[in-house]
A and B are shown apart, each in its own frame.
Chain A
Amino acid sequence: MSTAHNGQDAGQAQATGGKRTAGAYDVRTVIAGLIGFYGVVLVVLGIVDYGEAEAAKTGDWNANLWVGLGMLAFALVFAAWTKLRPVVVEGGEAVEDPTGGSDTAGR
């Protein structure tokens, strides 16, 4: 949960002439962080704790492992999107990157 503090510092570090990126205030950072954390926990669980009880529930499919990997992939895509198209904050108002295009990956 330390992402907020790190990101906040990063956001201020990038400040140049009243313009800075939203950093951790960008909701995409938060989403990537939480889903990525879930992904790591599930992958570890899938590796160390996959036994008969789990197999019986999921029908012989290591669901924790594969869903965890899926979440990690999702978190990486979101992190990359945040990095490539940052939200620029101007005078306290969030403005989208003028290059646009931030709406396509939302669905």
Chain B
Amino acid sequence: MVLAADETLRLDANFIDYALVAAYFAVVLLIGFAARRRVSDSLDFFLSGRSLPAWVTGLAFISANLGAVEIIGMSANGAQFGMATFHYFWIGAVPAMLFLGVVMMPFYYGSKVRSVPEFMRRRFGTGAHLVNALSFALAQVLIAGINLYLLATIVNALLGWPQWISLIVAAAVVLSYITLGGLSAAIYNEVLQFFVIVAALLPLTLIGLHRVGGVGGLIDSIRDSGNENDLSSWPGSDLSSIDNPVLSVIGIVFGLGFVLSFGYWTTNFVEVQRAMATKSMSAARSTPIIGSFPKMFIPFIVIVPGMIAAVLVNETRDLKAGGDPGVTYNDSILLLIRDVLPNGLLGVAIAGLLASFMAGMAANISAFNTVFSYDLWQQYVKKDRPDGYYLKVGRVATVGATVVAIFTALIAANFDNLMDYLQTLFGFFNAPLFATFILGMFWKRMTATAGWTGLVSGTLAAVLVWSLSETGVIGLEGQGASFVAAGAAFVVDIVVSVAVSMVTAPKPVSELAGLVYSETPKEVRTDPDAHKLPWYQSPTKLAGISLVLVIALNLIFR
């Protein structure tokens, strides 16, 4: 991700703004200390003792994803492509979140596994588990480094702090609250961060709209600038880089909406971990479903500011008109903050942005230390130690991951493109994962060998399609290439898994209880008290409401 290098972005922060930012950091550290008093065993540290209410984990669920890439990237897309960017939320996130809550969560929560890779091990044995756990752990450390790098870059651009100082300060803050309070502290901070981000972005959107003359004024300005396309979300040819409107719609619905988003939201332990920290099956299932409500309205305070910047901020308007003002689309939301927020609100906005960037990193690290301690260390290095031992391993892993993240951030600072490629590649691990999980959950005949061969061949298929498009052998570019690569990974994974299952021996049926739909007694995958819950705590009813709302949003903003 490239930002303007010079002082274009420098914000005029004064004492009050710094005080507001400092207040936020003080609260973050206090949460770490408060949570420490309650951490008594390793389950408490890694899964919050399975005690949190659903609205808390639901907000944490989307906050974990509301990091630097989301806010900077989606407002940039808003400035560049306009309303088509809504697809990342309404097509590319909400349906998958509902599917996770309604269909898949009963297996994750009901089987009492402590991580997504652990589910993999119980269903498919160590081959698939090792592939999953290693690729996940590696990806998390590298992505944490990328988040850290973005954080330092932005602090440097906004406030003028040297990059290495912001790197170390940010890493130290994240490290202290996770080592102190474990997942509880991470989740509580994510909930707090959600409200600070809304407190920063909602006024930004309202003031921005006021400046351009309201919603009507924004629409007129976009029309006048000759970007009529930005006002419709379908067929989204600019976004998908697929010219044919029919193929573009298919690409968005199948590639983004089905394979990429289901792969990400349903198998990514960073997300699923938040739901595992709840106190009951109903609360676990409700977590992503409750999260889907704020998720569907976040685009209005992330994408709309990008669209406002494209007509209000001089530099972004020049860029959009084909000029070269020395900024990129990634600067859009920062430039809008510079232009419209007075001191005071500016401080809230800086606190909100820093909160979001730290949360991204904290989520990666708290998921990493769980997988490292339970899935790698306990499984393959030192088995059968007392619980306190793994708690200690988790804390050491957190420190180690943070140090590695600092070095990753330094590498990212020197090889910007390399990091972009790596991030794209890790995205490809998710697509075949979803295929393997969904097949494994509903088809008891699927074998252990099929588990890992499917994963590996699916990932290779994605990498192959992606390299072919990068080298220009097939005529696809940008998002279109990712959609097709993910689709190929999904299809190849299914085909290979079915073929291999036909020639290898399945696991005995007795070992599949809790892991496969047909072998799981109804009591294990449902909440015995479910019928006593009012409608607003019932996962399926909430999911129905969410689905109706998101379809309505798609129709209104088509």
Contacts and interface: CB of A to CB of B under 8 A. Distances in A.
Interface of A: 1, 4, 8, 24-25, 27, 30-31, 33-35, 37-38, 41-42, 45-46, 49, 53-54, 57-59, 61, 63-64, 67-68, 71, 87, 92-96, 100-104, 106-107
Interface in B1-47: 16, 19-20, 23-24, 26-27, 30-31, 34, 38, 40
A46 B59 CA distance: 31
B537 A1 contact: no
Interface residues of B, number: 48
Given A1-B23, A30-B31, A103-B537, 15 more contacts: A30-B30, A57-B339, A57-B341, A58-B340, A63-B207, A64-B342, A67-B199, A93-B51, A94-B52, A96-B53, A102-B53, A103-B536, A106-B55, A106-B59, A107-B290
A85 to B, nearest CB: 10
A87 to B, nearest CB: 7
A42 B59 contact: no
A31 B191 contact: yes
Interface of B: 16, 19-20, 23-24, 26-27, 30-31, 34, 38, 40, 49, 51-56, 58-59, 188, 191-192, 195-196, 199, 203, 207, 210-211, 279, 286, 290, 293-294, 339-345, 348, 533-534, 536-537
A51 B100 CA distance: 51
B203 A67 contact: yes
Nearest to B534: A100
A107 B34 contact: no
Question: What are the 4 closest A-B residue pairs judged by CB atoms, nearest first?
Answer: A106-B55, A54-B342, A45-B344, A64-B344
Contacts, number: 117
B199 A35 contact: yes
Contacts of B34: 4, 8, 24-25
A103 B348 CA distance: 27
A106 B290 contact: yes
A64 B345 contact: yes
A35 B192 CA distance: 9
Nearest to A58: B207
Given A1-B30, A59-B210, A107 B55 contact: yes
9 contacts: A1-B23, A27-B192, A31-B195, A41-B19, A57-B341, A61-B210, A87-B53, A93-B49, A93-B279
Nearest to A64: B344
A106 B58 contact: yes
Given A34-B196, A58-B342, A45 B53 contact: no
A106 B287 CA distance: 12
B311 to A, nearest CB: 14
A48 B67 CA distance: 34
Nearest to B27: A34
B54 A103 contact: yes
Contacts of B27: 1, 30, 33-34
Contacts of A27: 56, 188, 191-192
Contacts of B340: 57-59
Contact of B345 (A42, A93, A102): A42
Given A33-B27, A58-B210, A106-B55, A38 B348 contact: yes
A96 B192 CA distance: 19
Contact of B195 (A8, A35, A68, A87): A35
Contact of A4 (B30, B207, B290, B537): B30
Contacts of A37: 23
Contacts of A96: 53
A78 to B, nearest CB: 9
A41 B16 contact: yes
Contact of A38 (B20, B188, B536, B537): B20
Among A25, A38, A68, the one with the most B-chain Cβ atoms within 10 Å of its Cβ is A38
B170 to A, nearest CB: 19
B16 A45 contact: yes
A101 to B, nearest CB: 8
B319 to A, nearest CB: 21
Contact of B536 (A41, A59, A104): A104
B50 to A, nearest CB: 9
Contacts of A59: 207, 210-211, 340
B301 to A, nearest CB: 13
A106 B56 CA distance: 8
Among A25, A68, A71, the one with the most B-chain Cβ atoms within 10 Å of its Cβ is A25
